[in-house]
Amino acid sequence: MVRAIVGANWGDEGKGKITDMLAKESDIIIRFQGGSNAGHTIINNYGKFALHLLPSGVFYQHTTSIIGNGVALNIPFLKEEIEELTKKGVPAPKILVSDRAQIMMPYHILFDTYEEARLAGKSFGSTKSGIAPFYSDKYAKIGFQVSELFGDEKELMEKVENVCTLKNVMLEHLYHQPLLDPKEVFQTLMEYKEIVEPYVCDVSKYLDEAIKEGKNILLEGQLGSLKDPDHGIYPMVTSSSTLAAYGAIGAGIPPYEIKNITAVVKAYSSAVGAGAFVSEIFGEEADELRKRGGDGGEFGATTGRPRRMGWFDAVATRYGCRVQGATEVVLTVLDVLGYLEELPICVGYEIDGKVTKDFPTTHLLEKAKPVYKKLPGWKCDIRGIRNYEELPENCKKYIEAIEEEIGVPVTMVSNGPGRDEIIIRK
């Protein structure tokens, strides 16, 4: 059975924790999109980890962790991340890398940095991990696929020269930066070949067999629905699809094999980077929630930058669940909200004097004002509760109000960052 774990908001919903938790009963966990630009924070018996590239299943010895073809593969980063795990006492995980994954090159990171600097105040808030230049090159057909490292070297060198010719025009005339040397780029590719060789696999074939054998497979998404390049808040989005549907492509499996789509939804809102954020809060109210949020505050796992904070947005989340095709929802970080007297839920957007429950395209979203419904707080700590019925009445009302607004069953409630801090709802 294939199950996708994806974000229905702006990312940072706690997918890492849920994947790590569900990985216990899984055989294979696959990353199918994105790169090392976002991080999953995981707390387990080995300590606290921020995984950026590896799937959140690497902590179990019975699982195989896969980097699918849809991922932006930063090879030195992969090496570092594996070393970091083993250094902290995690047994060496079984890792496979798709032979069709494309390689994040050092110049992608440079181009990302140069472009952010060029855009200055109008930048997209990129993490400067090279993601946009990487996917641009992939679709412009000038990216390097892992398989190419193992092909004809002369052909590879010719391609490197062509890519450098293109890149150097931009470097010289737009960014006024040092040019690429084709020999150096080729050398880098050869170094990457050596690092990645032990992991390379025909992943699509491997998964075809695994599906036939009835293995439990998890697709682990990065970021969330609203960062999807097609269905998100374009252009303030990421450069690869964050939707479960893309899991089929980014892993190389048939779409109809994805039987369960678990959308991870946060009990309040947080976002990084620029872009419209209708239920955003500011000042002390935001600082308080940011300080209490997640595990040790809402700060980026990759960049450390403070996340933007807001109340639960039912309009965005319902849409986020719809475009994911969510079959169930896990509501996370609910424990954080125990300090509030009352909890606003954004149940509508007012745009040009009209209230709508439909999530609009970006130019309208920028005009939207939140319409709130307020629910009473529960004013206590719910960590440690394992049984839904034992939750305070007002807490259950908050969960049920969210469930009603988004129209997808909330099957699990996460009330702490740890693996076992979960309430399974009957």
Max Cα separation, the chain?
69
Stretch in the footprint of ligand GDP (CB under 6 A) among 23-31, 133-141, 192-200, 410-418: 410-418
Q: Judge whether 173 is annotated as a binding position.
A: no
Supply the DSSP symbol for 418.
Answer: B
Q: Judging by DSSP bridges, how do beta strands 308-310 and 280-281 pair with one another?
A: antiparallel
Q: How far is the CB of 229 from ligand GDP (least distance, A)?
A: 18
Q: How far apart are CA 256 and CA 245, in angstroms?
A: 9
For ligand GDP, the closer CB: 9 or 327 = 9
Q: Which two tokens stand for residue 9?
A: 């908001």
Instruction: Provide the CB-side half-sphere exposure for 307 (13 A, CA).
Output: 26
The verdict on whether 363 is a catalytic residue reads no
Q: Which residues are bridge partners to 262 per DSSP? A: 5, 328
| Among 30, 22, 425, CA closest to 246 | 30
Shortest reach from residue 42's CB to ligand GDP, in Å: 7
Provide the pairing of β-strand 258-266 with 2-7: parallel
Can you tell me which of 225, 242, 279, 414 binds ligand GDP, judged by CB under 6 A?
414
313 in Cβ contact with 273 (< 8 Å): no
The site that binds ligand GDP (CB under 6 A) totals a number of residues, namely: 24
Q: Judging by DSSP bridges, how do beta strands 102-103 and 72-73 pair with one another?
A: parallel
40 is catalytic: yes
Nearest CA to 326 out of 247, 239, 406 is that of: 406
Could you tell me the two tokens for 243?
A: 């939707």
The span from the CA of 232 to the CA of 197, in Å, is 36
Residues with Cβ within 8 Å of 18's Cβ and at least 6 positions away in sequence, in order, are 5, 262, 264, 330, 332, 412, 414
Contact mark string toward ligand GDP, 2..31, x via CB under 6 A: -----x---xxxxxxx--------------
CB of residue 110 vs ligand GDP: minimum separation in angstroms?
26
Residue closer to ligand GDP (CB basis): 159 or 290:
290
394 belongs to an annotated ligand binding site: no
Residue from 156, 226, 321, 336 binding ligand GDP (CB under 6 A): 336
Q: Shortest Cβ distance from residue 11 to ligand GDP (Å)? A: 6
Active-site residue, from 40, 52, 108, 231: 40
For 104, residues 6+ apart whose C-beta sits below 8 A from its C-beta are: 35, 36, 72, 73, 74, 75, 77, 129, 130, 134
Task: State the binding string over 54-93 for ligand GDP (x if CB under 6 A, else -).
Answer: ----------------------------------------
Is 98 a binding residue for ligand GDP by CB under 6 A? The answer is no
Pick 43 or 375: Cβ nearer ligand GDP? 43
Residues 29 to 58: which contact ligand GDP by CB under 6 A?
38-41, 43
Whole-angstrom Cα distance, residue 308 to residue 11? 12
Q: Among the candidate windows 63-71, 73-81, 250-258, 411-419, which touches ligand GDP by CB under 6 A? A: 411-419
Please report how close the Cβ of residue 382 comes to ligand GDP at its closest, in angstroms. Answer: 10
* Catalytic residue annotation: 12, 40
Residues of each annotated binding site for Mg(2+): 12, 39
Give contact residues for ligand GDP (rule: CB under 6 A).
7, 11-17, 38-41, 43, 294-295, 301, 332-333, 335-336, 414-417
Residues of each annotated binding site: 11-17, 37-41, 127, 141, 238, 301-307, 333-335, 414-416
